[in-house]
Amino acid sequence: MCGIVGYTGHRQAAPILLDSLSRLEYRGYDSAGLAVRNGTALAEVVKATGKLYHLADKTDQGRALAGCCGIGHTRWATHGDPSVVNAHPHVSGNCSGSGSGTVESDVAGVHNGIIENYTELKEKLLRHGYTFYSDTDTEVAVKLVDYYYKKYKIGPVDAITRCMVRIRGSYALALMFKDYPDEIFAARKDSPLIIGVDEKESYLASDVPAILKYTRQVHYIGNLQVARVAPGKVTFFDLNGDEVSVPLTEITWDAEAAEKGGYEHFMLKEIHEQPQAVRDTLNSLVKDGQIDLTETGLTDEMIREIGQIDIVACGSAWHVGMAAQYVIEDLAGIPVRVELASEFRYRNIPIDRKTLVIIISQSGETADSLAALRVAKERGAATLAIVNVIGSTIAREADHVLYTMAGPEIAVATTKAYSAQLVAADILAIHMAGIREKMTADQVREMLGELATLPDKMRRVLEEKERLQWFSSKMANTHDIFFIGRGLDYAISLEGSLKMKEISYIHSEAYAAGELKHGTISLIENNTLVIGVLTQKELYEKTVSNMMECKSRGAYLLGITTNGNFSVEDSVNFTVYIPKTDQHFMASLAVIPLQLLGYYTSVNRGLDVDKPRNLAKSVTVE
């Protein structure tokens, strides 16, 4: 959600902080701010509401703020309205008006997360003479640190650990202390935070793209750990204040992968990167024609012992789970249940040691998915994470990890991460089917051969983008869209509907086609757009029949089907054809026209494709 950045070194901090914040805009925000130290007792704080360029204008692109140590923040409002006074950074001293300007304060800080007991802590601080200028839980955290720092006359690390014991909720904190002018102190619990180092410089960020331009060497600070960040040096501590070791990880992403590369939007770039993301993920899991999952730690014996699989995820990752359910059950014969992470964590779902819980998350930091993972482990289930970010919290805490190779994904609406997760789930299904002798070795090789053709077939689908661009211009003012399909096509429809609604703001819903007559068909009227996904041979005629029921009530029909099914043109108004492949893998191809349709519709409506309203890339709070 919120974005945190920090820098300490020998260069002017503010321009670096602004540049880093610009690379976190995809996370979603309503205001932004900077606090910079110039080696004096005072901190210069500047805040602005709205887009980041307002903050840049206020600071002359950062040039107006002197100092080589600073922190920055893009805020997603949780406690308190979006306003300058509620924007971060917050300070421990009293602050009038906007909270900007030169501030004489012992502590300044930024925060990502939600402090659940902030009201209780605020009441405690009020009794000790503190006053508050904002409505945020962050100001409470900063002043609580200040309270312990002064009361016990202890150092920043000890003051922060005392706060961590008292705070309930999630947080990533970056703090500057008046008495430590060239250092930043950080702490985290359940919210993402990384620390990058170079020879004489150090960086903090909520996500890798923010600092990829400056360093590839990063530490993933552990849960309930504190970091003391000095120029070119980082020291880590546990809750007891004892020094601990945190390994250094080298980021292998190409820095250009986090740039638009000539495309108008990140989303369009990432749609076109899907063939490569799928190819890279396949190459990481299939070696010399054989599936190799040794790095996951899943043994053949473990796979044979699986009695049930629970797939737990949110949003598009949940749609991957829905598709994977059909493929795993059909190929491997293992019962699969797909659960929303936000529901799983609060239900008493029967699981045991023969249950494999698969957590799917692009960022590896999704709050509900992380909580679900911990619940599954507490109940004795084995856990497997399918994630895209090496060293993320979910990756570290799961028993087994399967990494996708999508690279950095910047647009809020996921595309290439979805496709990489999908092919990873397909590989897992084939591997399980082979180990459990539901498929012969020859069948496994045949399936792998078909998967290997997907990247080229995906490129062929992308060649249809002009037709979809034209069609989207004709339906950009549509008010309602229904996506329908049966079986795996229903799972594809779910993702297509989400892509449409989240970036075009058009009301859309996905339904299992056979359920239309059980109420939903009453919503069909003249020119309602109905998009039918028709890739499953055995279900093709039934879905066409459902579409004709809509057409007879005035609906306008778009059909997505495979090459050769030309008879569909007799029934629908507009047809999109995709190459043939094994029916289990059709989602990898059929989803691309739906992504493009959502993208071009958003563009035609003049909307912010990469940063849709009210949404964030990584949902790190409940």
Q: Which of 2, 68, 95, 163 is catalytic?
A: 2
Provide the domain limits for residue 588.
465-604
Least confident of 168-177, 415-424, 435-444, 521-530: 521-530
CATH of the domain at 344: 3.40.50.10490
Encode pLDDT of 252-262 as tens digits.
776 666 677 77
CATH of the domain at 244: 3.60.20.10
Encode pLDDT of 4-55 as tens digits.
999 999 999 999 999 999 988 877 788 999 999 987 667 899 999 988 999 9
> What pLDDT score was predicted for residue 272?
95
Q: Is the pLDDT score of 172 beyond 80? A: yes
Evaluate whether residue 611 is within a structural domain: no
Are 247 and 369 contained in the same domain?
no
Residue 188 to residue 99: CA distance in whole angstroms? 25
Residue 500 to residue 51: CA distance in whole angstroms? 24
Last residue of one domain, picked from the residues 403, 421, 452: 452
Phi and psi angles of residue 558, each rounded to the nearest 5 degrees, phi first: -120, 130
Number of residues in the chain: 622
Assess whether 2 carries a catalytic annotation.
Answer: yes
> What pLDDT score was predicted for residue 617?
59
534, 505 contact by CB (below 8 A): no
Least confident of 112-116, 502-506, 598-602: 112-116
Are 207 and 302 contained in the same domain?
no
Evaluate whether residue 459 is within a structural domain: no
Q: Per the structure block, which two tokens stand in for 571? A: 């029934």
616 pLDDT tier (thresholds 50, 70, 90) = low
- HEC string of 120-135 equals HHHHHHHHCCCCCCCC
Evaluate whether residue 458 is within a structural domain: no
Our count of domains for the chain comes to 3
Are 189 and 48 contained in the same domain?
yes
| Backbone region of residue 516 per phi and psi (left: phi > 0; alpha: psi in -120 to 50; beta: other values) | alpha
> What pLDDT score was predicted for residue 32?
93
Evaluate whether residue 256 is within a structural domain: no
Q: Is the pLDDT score of 302 beyond 60? A: yes
Collapsing DSSP states into helix, strand and coil, what is residue 42? Answer: coil
Could you tell me the CA-to-CA distances from 449 to 282, 287, 288, 430, 583 in Å, in that order?
Answer: 11, 12, 12, 12, 14
Give the E-state strand segments of 63-167 in sequence order: 69-75, 90-91, 101-103, 107-115
Evaluate whether residue 613 is within a structural domain: no
Give the E-state strand segments of 190-340 in sequence order: 194-197, 202-205, 217-220, 225-230, 233-237, 243-244, 248-250, 286-287, 290-291, 308-313, 336-340
121 pLDDT tier (thresholds 50, 70, 90) = very high
Encode pLDDT of 377-419 as tens digits.
999 999 999 999 888 889 999 999 999 999 888 888 999 999 9
Integer Rg of the chain from CA: 26
Are 444 and 483 contained in the same domain?
no
> What pLDDT score was predicted for residue 207?
86
Are 441 and 496 contained in the same domain?
no
Give the E-state strand segments of 406-452 in sequence order: none
> What pLDDT score was predicted for residue 96?
52
Evaluate whether residue 122 is within a structural domain: yes
Q: Which of 143, 416, 457, 617 is catalytic?
A: 617
Are 486 and 350 contained in the same domain?
no
Are 426 and 516 contained in the same domain?
no
Are 305 and 284 contained in the same domain?
yes
Evaluate whether residue 614 is within a structural domain: no
Assess whether 617 carries a catalytic annotation.
Answer: yes
Are 242 and 273 contained in the same domain?
no
Q: Is 267 exposed, middle or buried (0-12, 13-18, 19+ CB in 10 A)?
A: buried
Are 16 and 111 contained in the same domain?
yes
Which is higher by pLDDT, 170 or 618? 170
Q: Is the pLDDT score of 97 beyond 50? A: no
> What pLDDT score was predicted for residue 8?
97
109 pLDDT tier (thresholds 50, 70, 90) = very high
pTM: 0.77
Are 282 and 177 contained in the same domain?
no
Evaluate whether residue 160 is within a structural domain: yes
Last residue of one domain, picked from the residues 422, 452, 482: 452
Are 382 and 473 contained in the same domain?
no
> What pLDDT score was predicted for residue 622?
53
